[in-house]
Amino acid sequence: MPSFDEVLKEAGEFGRFQKRVFFLLSQTGITFSSLFASVVFLGRAPGNFWCRIPGAAELSERCGWTLEEERNFTVLPLLLGNESVTGQCERLDVTWDASASCRSPLGRHGNGSAGSAPLAPCHGHWGYEQPRASIVSEYDLVCGNAWMLDLSQAILNLGFLAGAFILGYAADRYGRILIYLLSCLGVGICGIIVAFSPNFTVFLIFRFLQGMFGKGTWMTCYVIVTEIVGSDQRMVGIVIQIFFTLGIIILPGIAYLIPTWQGIQLAISLPNFLFLLYYWVVPESPRWLLTRKKGEKALEIMRSIAKHNGKFLSPHYSEITISNEEVSNPSFLDLVRTPQMRRNTLILMYAWFTSALIYQGLVMRLGIIGGNLYLDFFISGAVELPSAFLILVTMDRIGRRLPFAMGNIVASVACLITAFLPEDIPWLKTTVATLGRLSITIAFEVVYLVNSELYPTTLRNFGVSLCSSLCDLGGIAIWLELPLVIFSILAAVCGLLVLLLPETKGISLPETVEDVEQLPSHFGKCGKKQKHRDTNSYI
């Protein structure tokens, strides 16, 4: 009997059906990258702000002051008395009440009181020129509370981490498309709640949940696309990541046009509800159905794929022999129980961690230009596009391992050179750092594809999600104090380790753990696929 891949070839490996599903699911990359990077604009600097004297709000309303007038009454006397303070994190230790004068509220303290009055730290009373522009002004994340902005991004990464484990497991047990749709619904609902959070605690709780569901949409859509195309078309996984980059490029335009953080939050969250319409146009992965002993449903979907692609399956495709291997409750032990699976898992986990750490480290430390936040962010996304095109024109010719290794090695060299370049030649420093950014982006994009190709269908979504969870740990672990030399060492080690992985160019996706264990035997010295393959999971 023919194998699944042979049936897929007859039904069309990348016909009209796959192109439609690919385009629809690729939109997930735009919304996920917007969520991933949204803190840049949700938490942008609030502009001028100052510490309000207790009672200032009531007095300002009674006197009809503008924000500028209130700031002048509050801050100017403080600056005249002490030039070393800014008026943002400290104030004069006075209180305004109903007896204060609208023209000279500090008058009763005496002409020299501003210079001699003691100072008090600011606690929960600030005034902002743009009070609704960002979560910084909304929840007073300034001065002693400034660290909470970083906390909000760490919480999002923790949500990604939870989503990798929980929803990765669920997608392998209950189905790809079901978890994808539930995740889209969760992202949309949590995004709305985040936009209207009454306090910072509620904001953090639902930002965590939005991150969890967001990771579910991204990883599941990637696996679905990988499983419905032929072995020669799995490069579409790289193209999906171009949509991730498009999201990075589009985000500053959205932020520029929408003046409030609530509007930005809604703009990146509401499109997820549109993805619920995919229920009627994106079917369950037939590969996954085969592992769940649902051969009739898988065959029905294969016939539908053939029909949409203008082809017809042979009449003798009427029986399905299911693989004897079924993993109903996937766990980490399933990923490390056998030698090849164990080696693949440990190397991929390290590669995910390293790629995320270096990628975010270069983004945070080495900006391309300075001054304009929107333009700076746009360019930081645009420089990633050449990476995807380089992968597309090389990987089908030379395989996966060499670009994977070279991306890490070149990034390692670039980080090392950048660390020792003098500050007085910024153009050279920027050029080398940009080369490092391009190289680590190549490694980052290849690890997605290789990860999905090195796990069997029974464990694919869980394996990809679990390994990619190290990416979220890398995002949490990154600190500006980490020297570039550390990045260089980590990338060099990763470049050597990935050479130990099997070459996956041109092979059929493994259906079982046994298939994974036999991957090395599928290749000669030049990485060519051999003809032998076990007859598991057939139609």
Residue 32 forms part of a structural domain: yes
Whole-number pLDDT of residue 97: 67
**Are 33 and 72 in a shared domain?**
no
**Are 413 and 386 in a shared domain?**
yes
Residue 404 forms part of a structural domain: yes
**Are 293 and 266 in a shared domain?**
yes
CA–CA dist 467, 469 (Å, integer): 5
Whole-number pLDDT of residue 520: 59
**Are 257 and 183 in a shared domain?**
yes
Residue 109 forms part of a structural domain: no
Whole-number pLDDT of residue 525: 40
Contact, 310 vs 16, CB < 8 A? Answer: yes
**Are 170 and 259 in a shared domain?**
yes
Residue 114 forms part of a structural domain: no
Residue 418 in tokens? 């950048």
Whole-number pLDDT of residue 313: 78
| H-helix or E-strand spanning residue 127 | strand 126-128
Whole-number pLDDT of residue 83: 58
Contact, 152 vs 135, CB < 8 A? Answer: yes
List CB contacts of 414: < 8 A, sequence separation 6 or more. Answer: 432, 433, 435, 436, 439
Final residue in a domain of this structure, among 132, 154, 171: 132
Contact, 388 vs 242, CB < 8 A? Answer: yes
The total of other beta-carbon atoms located within 10 Å of residue 129's CB is: 14
Whole-number pLDDT of residue 328: 56
**Are 295 and 179 in a shared domain?**
yes
Cα Rg of the chain, angstroms: 28
DSSP 56-119: HHHHHHHHT--HHHHHHHHHHHHHHH-TT--SSSEEES----TTS-SS-TTGGG-TTHHHHSPE
Whole-number pLDDT of residue 397: 80
Whole-number pLDDT of residue 348: 93
Whole-number pLDDT of residue 475: 63
Final residue in a domain of this structure, among 280, 301, 322: 322
3-state helix/strand/coil string of 384-448: CHHHHHHHHHHHHHHCCHHHHHHHHHHHHHHHHHHHHCCCCCHHHHHHHHHHHHHHHHHHHHHHH
Whole-number pLDDT of residue 288: 86
477 CB burial (10 A radius; 0-12, 13-18, 19+) = middle
pLDDT truncated to tens, each residue of the chain (539 aa)? 556 777 888 888 889 999 999 999 999 999 999 998 888 899 887 777 777 777 777 777 777 777 777 777 777 666 655 655 666 777 776 777 666 677 676 665 544 445 556 777 777 677 777 777 889 888 888 888 888 888 888 899 889 989 988 998 898 889 999 999 999 999 999 999 999 999 999 999 999 999 999 999 998 998 898 888 877 777 787 788 889 889 989 999 999 999 899 999 999 999 999 999 999 999 999 888 887 878 788 888 988 998 999 888 777 766 555 455 555 566 778 888 888 999 999 999 999 888 888 877 776 555 444 557 788 788 778 878 888 788 878 877 888 889 899 999 999 998 888 888 887 777 787 788 778 888 888 888 888 888 888 888 778 878 887 887 787 776 666 554 457 788 889 999 999 999 999 988 877 778 888 888 887 544 444 344 443 344 333 33
**Are 458 and 512 in a shared domain?**
yes
Residue 193 forms part of a structural domain: yes
For residue 72, the enclosing domain spans 47-76+127-132
**Are 346 and 423 in a shared domain?**
yes
Whole-number pLDDT of residue 351: 92
List CB contacts of 29: < 8 A, sequence separation 6 or more. Answer: 218, 221, 240, 241, 242, 243, 244, 246, 247
Residue 68 forms part of a structural domain: yes
**Are 269 and 399 in a shared domain?**
no
Q: Which residues pair with 120 in a beta bridge?
A: 91
CA atoms within 13 A on the CB side of 211: 24
List CB contacts of 311: < 8 A, sequence separation 6 or more. Answer: 10, 11, 12, 15
Whole-number pLDDT of residue 5: 74
Residue 453 forms part of a structural domain: yes
Q: Which residues pair with 109 in a beta bridge?
A: none
Whole-number pLDDT of residue 264: 95
CA–CA dist 104, 408 (Å, integer): 64
Final residue in a domain of this structure, among 284, 302, 322: 322
Domain at 457, CATH number: 1.20.1250.20
CA–CA dist 440, 355 (Å, integer): 6
**Are 293 and 336 in a shared domain?**
no
Nearest Cα to Cα of residue 222 among 153, 167, 260, 294: 167
**Are 212 and 267 in a shared domain?**
yes
Under DSSP, is residue 49 helix (H, G, I), strand (E, B) or coil? Answer: strand
Contact, 431 vs 420, CB < 8 A? Answer: no
Domain count, the chain: 3
Whole-number pLDDT of residue 279: 94
**Are 291 and 342 in a shared domain?**
no
Note the pTM of the prediction, 2 decimals. Answer: 0.80
Residue 342 forms part of a structural domain: yes
| H-helix or E-strand spanning residue 500 | none
